[in-house]
Chains A and B, each alone.
Chain A
């Protein structure tokens, strides 16, 4: 293994993208108990909305950005209301299939409205890179990393310190009791999806400059983001971001092992993931739940 500092910084840079998508997954998992396969595609779709505001309509960057985040929030809430709520009480696998359907739907819609061409989307961060300790780190990567930390803090605060976060936990852990306590379960679930879509939109729009915007932009990312969320224990925002960084760095490092190389790095990364889970089946930040007979 070639312990190259450049490899580690590159891994951290892409890992923060995984982490920021994983945050959205954790948000939905914690507030609705669902593994959302459509997370990445919804983020891509929202990114295209932002791209249209900024590039096609010609709005100032931050105005378009905010409008897209708002649109993503509404999109998430509507999706929950229209597609998820009718199957809310079904077995989880059924809900998963609905999210797979949403994955296909948003992918097809992005392809239909914006076609498969790769599109440039400027970043709010300065171009170029900083030269530290012999490695180059782009400002865009630093910006993505910073914003993923801000998103993480935001999600953490929502969960921990707000009434909404408390209500979200109540709704998933005991929907009946929470309804009896006067919490509007439906509104809370919509809110969870809306927030998750907004977090995804932020991640998508910032990462688009680095990943390059096309309808399949998030498909590769989603796989790593799942892994990141799982390593992080599925419910912890901090775990999700750290899980993303672990996946990014692991992938970069294993690809430098000569007998693994880049063509086996995907396989090797996921073998490392399985090994981590074998040692800690509940992830790095999850709690072991015991089931008694």
Chain B
């Protein structure tokens, strides 16, 4: 075995992590753990084992995919996959705004809500066919996004975070207030569409919703791909990596920032339309600030400024937030079983993923990985000054929450 694999470090990583996945799933945690959690543990375990055996840890991440295909049948349902894809489409939009043009946006959720209301109102109050309402949901959200984009030009860093969180807070309140249009707090029930004639024999309503969502996701990916691999993509990259230099060579900063907001909000609106169609119930208080923040975690965990990151992040965040289970211990204290509640497990895993894969899960595949620097740091080499030099050398100023220059001038006002 060893001789066969010798010289194929990538294969070693892949095989080992696949084995670890299988072992974890079959032997160690036969029932209490969810499939995705197994994959996550397997990934971490696979990377560690692969490193120790001089395999290539980057490819270890692919290993769990093999058993995943078999696990999927038992652990993912069509409705769940639909919701994950909807999250991913909206996250793709947010990535355009936050990842590619560096504008921190905490209001993505309200644009989903806007799209959801457009579809719900047109479909259930005016009898439109749902599929026709989807582009309109996107366009209405895009128009609102355009407005916010223009407003956002005035702000940067934390100020932009507060502007967008103000929108995220005020949006649902306004939607609830205008009862005559939105039906207020009672929400709107949307009848889920039946699959059209030809499909009705072999698809049920949920599966129809799923395939519509898949098609929309593919369209979103293709358009984003085209947009980002061409001239606009290059401009955006320049803008993100060095806004001042980009301006200097003639990239129209204003135009791209606003454009990113409009297009990003379009995808959110489309995702909202799909939400209304597949959930069948729309109520404004579902689209609050915490719903929006979920999309930030998706793009960071998946990998900023990558299309696939939005999808990987959506799977990980959705599964972590719903299907992680309480980790129980066999001991009891004063008769109460000791356990880590599921929300805490989610939080700990989220922090671990971000610490161990700071460029996102997709970042692990990238050519220059953070692994070596991280292990160096974990081994205790706390040479802060070299660390900082290193970090400043390869740190792209993606989203800066601080002011672009020295945030703490020597003379501060009191």
Complex A–B touching at CB under 8 A: yes
Residues of B within 8 Å of A226, CB to CB, are 161-162, 165
Tell me which of B63-71, B137-145, B217-225, B391-399 binds A: B391-399
- Give CA–CA (A246, B390) in the complex, Å: 43
Task: Across the interface, name the chain A residue whose C-beta is closest to B356.
Answer: A86
Residues of B within 8 Å of A97, CB to CB, are 296-297, 300-301, 350, 354
Tell me which of B24-32, B113-121, B203-211, B338-346 binds A: B338-346
Residues of A within 8 Å of B351, CB to CB, are 83, 98, 101-102, 105
Shortest CB distance A22–B (Å): 12
Selected from B170, B300, B374, B404, the residue in CB contact (under 8 A) with A267 is: B170
Interface: A94 (CB within 8 A): yes
> Considering only CB atoms and an 8 Å cut-off, how many residues of chain B contact the other chain?
75
Selected from A86, A185, A273, the residue in CB contact (under 8 A) with B384 is: A185
- Give CA–CA (A120, B294) in the complex, Å: 32
Shortest CB distance A104–B (Å): 4
Interface: A289 (CB within 8 A): yes
- Chain B 156-177 near chain A by CB (<8 Å), digits 1 or 0: 1011011101110110011011
Query: Could you say which of B344, B355, B405, B408 has the most chain A C-beta atoms within 10 Å of its C-beta?
Result: B408
Shortest CB distance B100–A (Å): 13
Tell me which of A46-54, A126-134, A173-181 binds B: A173-181
> Could you tell me if A230 and B343 are in contact, using CB atoms closer than 8 angstroms?
no
> Could you tell me if B388 and A264 are in contact, using CB atoms closer than 8 angstroms?
no
Residues of A within 8 Å of B300, CB to CB, are 93-94, 97
> Could you tell me if A291 and B341 are in contact, using CB atoms closer than 8 angstroms?
no
Say whether, besides A30-B408, A112-B341, A271-B166, A230 and B347 are in contact (CB < 8 Å): no
- Chain A 93-119 near chain B by CB (<8 Å), digits 1 or 0: 110111011111101110110000000
- Give CA–CA (A86, B151) in the complex, Å: 35
| B101-126 contacts to A (CB < 8 Å) | 104
Residues of B within 8 Å of A273, CB to CB, are 162, 166
> Could you tell me if A160 and B414 are in contact, using CB atoms closer than 8 angstroms?
yes
Query: Could you say which of B104, B167, B407 has the most chain A C-beta atoms within 10 Å of its C-beta?
Result: B407
- Give CA–CA (A273, B280) in the complex, Å: 35
Shortest CB distance A1–B (Å): 19
Shortest CB distance B360–A (Å): 9
Interface: B155 (CB within 8 A): yes
Shortest CB distance B342–A (Å): 8
Interface: B272 (CB within 8 A): no
Residues of B within 8 Å of A229, CB to CB, are 158
Residues of B within 8 Å of A234, CB to CB, are 158, 407
- Give CA–CA (A33, B413) in the complex, Å: 17
> Considering only CB atoms and an 8 Å cut-off, how many residues of chain A contact the other chain?
73
Task: Across the interface, name the chain A residue whose C-beta is closest to B404.
Answer: A291
Task: Across the interface, name the chain A residue whose C-beta is closest to B396.
Answer: A91
> Could you tell me if B377 and A93 are in contact, using CB atoms closer than 8 angstroms?
no
> Could you tell me if A281 and B159 are in contact, using CB atoms closer than 8 angstroms?
yes
Shortest CB distance B140–A (Å): 19
Interface: B368 (CB within 8 A): no
> Could you tell me if B405 and A264 are in contact, using CB atoms closer than 8 angstroms?
no
Query: Could you say which of B177, B300, B339 has the most chain A C-beta atoms within 10 Å of its C-beta?
Result: B300
Interface: A169 (CB within 8 A): yes
Task: Across the interface, name the chain B residue whose C-beta is closest to A282.
Answer: B159
Interface: A124 (CB within 8 A): no
> Could you tell me if B354 and A92 are in contact, using CB atoms closer than 8 angstroms?
no
Shortest CB distance B407–A (Å): 6
Residues of B within 8 Å of A286, CB to CB, are 413
- Chain B 19-54 near chain A by CB (<8 Å), digits 1 or 0: 000000000000000000000000000000000000
- Chain A 249-293 near chain B by CB (<8 Å), digits 1 or 0: 000000000000001101100110110011001110111010111
> Could you tell me if A291 and B304 are in contact, using CB atoms closer than 8 angstroms?
no
> Could you tell me if B173 and A264 are in contact, using CB atoms closer than 8 angstroms?
yes
Interface: B6 (CB within 8 A): no
Interface: B382 (CB within 8 A): yes
Interface: B154 (CB within 8 A): yes
- Give CA–CA (A285, B350) in the complex, Å: 35
| B355-410 contacts to A (CB < 8 Å) | 355, 358, 374, 377-378, 382, 384-385, 387-392, 395-410
Interface: B282 (CB within 8 A): no
- Give CA–CA (A98, B357) in the complex, Å: 12
- Chain B 261-282 near chain A by CB (<8 Å), digits 1 or 0: 0000000000000000000000
Interface: A196 (CB within 8 A): no
Residues of A within 8 Å of B412, CB to CB, are 159, 235-236, 287
| B326-348 contacts to A (CB < 8 Å) | 339-344, 346-348
> Could you tell me if B401 and A96 are in contact, using CB atoms closer than 8 angstroms?
yes
Interface: B212 (CB within 8 A): no
- Give CA–CA (A104, B406) in the complex, Å: 31
Selected from B98, B176, B414, the residue in CB contact (under 8 A) with A93 is: B98
- Give CA–CA (A91, B289) in the complex, Å: 22
| B294-323 contacts to A (CB < 8 Å) | 296-297, 300-301, 304
Interface: B244 (CB within 8 A): yes
Shortest CB distance B88–A (Å): 17
Residues of A within 8 Å of B403, CB to CB, are 289
- Give CA–CA (A175, B402) in the complex, Å: 15
Residues of chain B touching chain A, judged by Cβ–Cβ distance below 8 Å, are 98, 104, 151, 154-156, 158-159, 161-163, 165-167, 169-170, 173-174, 176-177, 244, 247-248, 289, 293, 296-297, 300-301, 304, 339-344, 346-348, 350-351, 354-355, 358, 374, 377-378, 382, 384-385, 387-392, 395-410, 412-414
Q: List 21 A-B contacts (CB under 8 A).
A: A29-B402, A86-B374, A89-B387, A91-B304, A91-B398, A92-B402, A93-B300, A93-B401, A94-B300, A97-B300, A101-B350, A111-B341, A112-B341, A176-B385, A179-B385, A180-B385, A227-B166, A264-B173, A266-B173, A273-B162, A291-B405
Closest 4 CB pairs of A and B: A89-B391, A105-B347, A108-B343, A267-B170
- Besides A86-B378, A108-B344, 12 other A-B contacts (C-beta < 8 A): A92-B402, A101-B351, A104-B346, A105-B344, A108-B343, A112-B340, A169-B408, A227-B162, A230-B158, A236-B412, A264-B173, A281-B155
